[in-house]
Amino acid sequence: MRRDMVHPGAGELRYEIREIVSFARELSRWNIPIVWENIGDPVKKGEAIEGWIKDIVRNRVMDDLSYAYSDTEGVRETRAFLAGLANQRSISNPIGAMANPCEPLGADDIIFFNGLGDAVAKVFGFLKREARVLGPSPAYSTLSSAEAAHSGYKHLTYRLDPERDWMPDLEDVEYKVKYNDAIAGLLFINPDNPTGAVYPVEILKEFVRIAKTYGLFIIADETYANIVFPGTKTAALSQVVGDVPALALRSISKEVPWPGARSGWIEVYNRHSDPQFERYVQSLVDAKRLEVCATTLPQLCIPEIMSDSRYPDHLERRARMFEGRAQEAADAFAGRGGLKLIPPRGALYATALFDPERFFDGREQSRTLPVKDRSLADFITRRTEGLAPDKRFVYWLLAATGICVVPLSGFVSELPGFRFTLLEQDDEKRRWIYRTLAEAAEAYLES
Ligand SMILES: Cc1ncc(COP(=O)(O)O)c(C=O)c1O
């Protein structure tokens, strides 16, 4: 090529959650059945879609308009419906009336995308290269990769602290913001992927305070906002944002669940509070316009599904179900030397940590697990050369047990550990998965 044609951020596009799949498939030579614990797809893991939700979708499929394009920003009635929900949330504010309340949302403050994956690509892709967004570590890879790729540098992160139930280290946030004026935005995920942490209102208010003090905008990924375990208190960003410019990212992928719909949206708060922010939001719409619009059918179904009297019960039942599974996972890891699992309080995942002192004791490149035969052991030994130490564990785990999890190093983290899901439907198999993961992690540490 006469010109260098590779984007400077090309090397930052990593999605460990799926990259591990091609390695797992290579193990078919040894007839190892794989248990997929890497991807957060409730439907792939066998969750049945509620009959009444299928009825709504079936009826909509019979409507010719569901085969049409929609407005670039999305179906207007659906956007008005979602703006109304956001406004209701702000009224039922857990911290009482705010001195500078958020501008009420209208339909135009909701912008649809083909899943949040698409939204994230636009949010970072159309941010000025020099404007950085500070995000959590561990980080959900789609967000961290997109931010890193847009800037051409490693993703900038603040610490989620495992010693404090994975709460954000707000001193770290403020310190980094104060001394790096390239930071234009703050990102958090609530409930969080991969940790399952759910942030109390006080933490969310602190993010808002920091953003306001330093003139930043906020991105809140609220994919799991409706999967908060019973008794856990939190708030939506719209309830605490005040007059700070912000985006909340929401989706039907995990809560309906309908990840194959590829349907998610951005809620824009305080669009008119700052001319730069307003121009930036307009660029997101303009970018979407080049693609015409997001898929119409799921958008048409959203108001009917979400306003159905069965929807709140559906959400509550699932939150209770995932809470029970989180407890099973915590029980399986409890009392195991060198391992820690902070029980998640929301979302669909649990993250297990190796004690860093024991893990990084000089043997991190030589540990193994017992596998079927010599040829498999040789293959894994070859394939794990030079890998991140927790990724080595994940490869050995796959070969020894067939369980496919994601190393924490794939989530922009220096803490050694791995993420698995709370999605297995078969009760016996799920308990076997959690027990096997805990036993294998302990055996690996001691090998
Ligand atoms: C935190 C978070 N944000 C965004 C997404 C992407 O969701 P979507 O299916 O809407 O693209 C996911 C998917 O796992 C996620 O965990």
CA 264 to ligand 1: nearest atom: 10
For 132-141, how does the pLDDT look when each residue is reduced to its tens digit (9 = 90+)?
999 999 999 8
Tell me the average pLDDT of the chain: 94
pLDDT of residue 94 exceeding 70, the answer is no
Ligand 1 centroid, distance to 272 Cα (angstroms): 27
- By the 10 Å C-beta count (0-12 exposed, 13-18 middle, 19+ buried), 403 is classed as buried
Higher pLDDT, 311 or 10: 311
| Residue 41 and residue 55 in one domain | no
pLDDT of residue 45 exceeding 90, the answer is yes
Rounded percentage of the chain residues whose pLDDT exceeds 90: 85
| Residue 303 and residue 316 in one domain | no
> How large is the average pLDDT for residues 174-179?
98
| Residue 336 and residue 264 in one domain | no
- Judge whether 221 and 116 are in contact, CB under 8 Å: yes
| Residue 270 and residue 207 in one domain | yes
| Residue 291 and residue 336 in one domain | no
Residue 367: what pLDDT? 95
pLDDT of residue 324 exceeding 70, the answer is yes
Ligand 1 centroid, distance to 220 Cα (angstroms): 12
Residue 96: what pLDDT? 64
- Judge whether 80 and 87 are in contact, CB under 8 Å: no
| Residue 69 and residue 15 in one domain | no
On whether residue 409 sits in a domain, the answer given is yes
- Ligand 1 pocket: which of 253, 266, 412 to mutate (most atoms within 8 A of CB): 253
- Please give the Cα distance from 191 to 344 (Å, whole number): 9
The CATH number for 428's domain is 3.90.1150.10
On whether residue 15 sits in a domain, the answer given is yes
> How large is the average pLDDT for residues 108-131?
94
Residue 95: what pLDDT? 64
On whether residue 16 sits in a domain, the answer given is yes
Residue type present at position 330: A
| Residue 157 and residue 139 in one domain | yes
- Ligand 1 pocket: which of 223, 237, 252 to mutate (most atoms within 8 A of CB): 223
For 329-380, how does the pLDDT look when each residue is reduced to its tens digit (9 = 90+)?
999 999 999 999 999 999 999 999 999 999 999 999 999 999 989 999 999 9
Residue 255: what pLDDT? 97
Nearest to 194 by CA among 16, 30, 325, 69: 16
> How large is the average pLDDT for residues 310-314?
98
CA 254 to ligand 1: nearest atom: 9
On whether residue 3 sits in a domain, the answer given is no
Ligand 1 centroid, distance to 117 Cα (angstroms): 6
On whether residue 181 sits in a domain, the answer given is yes
| Residue 401 and residue 424 in one domain | yes
| Residue 404 and residue 299 in one domain | no
Question: Predicted confidence band at 90 (pLDDT cuts at 50, 70, 90)?
Answer: confident
Ligand 1 centroid, distance to 144 Cα (angstroms): 12
Residue 439: what pLDDT? 97
pLDDT of residue 13 exceeding 90, the answer is no
On whether residue 2 sits in a domain, the answer given is no
- Alpha helix segments (H runs only) across 28-74: 51-61
> How large is the average pLDDT for residues 145-170?
94
Residue 201: what pLDDT? 95
Ligand 1, atom 13, residue with closest C-alpha: 40
Give the CB-side neighbour count of residue 79, counting CA atoms within 13 A: 22
Ligand 1, atom 2, residue with closest C-alpha: 223
Residue 12: what pLDDT? 66
On whether residue 82 sits in a domain, the answer given is yes
Q: Taking each helix axis from N to C terminus, what angle separates 427-446 and 389-401, rounded to the nearest 10 degrees?
A: 130
Residue where one domain finishes, among candidates 243, 277, 307: 307
- Please give the Cα distance from 123 to 136 (Å, whole number): 17
CA 120 to ligand 1: nearest atom: 4
Task: Tell me if residue 413 falls in helix, strand or coil.
Answer: coil
| Residue 28 and residue 70 in one domain | no
Ligand 1 centroid, distance to 115 Cα (angstroms): 8
For 266-296, how does the pLDDT look when each residue is reduced to its tens digit (9 = 90+)?
999 999 999 999 999 999 999 888 899 999 9
Nearest to 184 by CA among 120, 119, 127: 127
Residue 102: what pLDDT? 86
For 378-423, how does the pLDDT look when each residue is reduced to its tens digit (9 = 90+)?
999 999 998 899 999 999 999 999 999 999 999 999 999 999 999 9
Ligand 1 centroid, distance to 41 Cα (angstroms): 10
Residue where one domain finishes, among candidates 307, 329, 356: 307
- Please give the Cα distance from 256 to 302 (Å, whole number): 9
On whether residue 1 sits in a domain, the answer given is no
Which tokens in the block code for residue 74? 């999305």
The CATH number for 75's domain is 3.40.640.10
Residue where one domain finishes, among candidates 281, 307, 333: 307
pLDDT of residue 70 exceeding 70, the answer is yes
Residue 360: what pLDDT? 95
Nearest to 300 by CA among 251, 255, 263: 263
Question: Predicted confidence band at 153 (pLDDT cuts at 50, 70, 90)?
Answer: confident
Rounded percentage of the chain residues whose pLDDT exceeds 70: 97
Ligand 1 interacting residues, C-beta cut-off 6 A: 40, 115-117, 140, 142, 189, 193, 221, 223, 251, 253, 259, 264
Report the domain count for the chain: 2
pLDDT of residue 55 exceeding 80, the answer is yes
pLDDT of residue 3 exceeding 80, the answer is no
pLDDT of residue 1 exceeding 90, the answer is no
Q: Domain span at residue 140?
A: 51-307
- Judge whether 70 and 296 are in contact, CB under 8 Å: yes
| Residue 37 and residue 175 in one domain | no
Question: Predicted confidence band at 14 (pLDDT cuts at 50, 70, 90)?
Answer: low
| Residue 238 and residue 333 in one domain | no
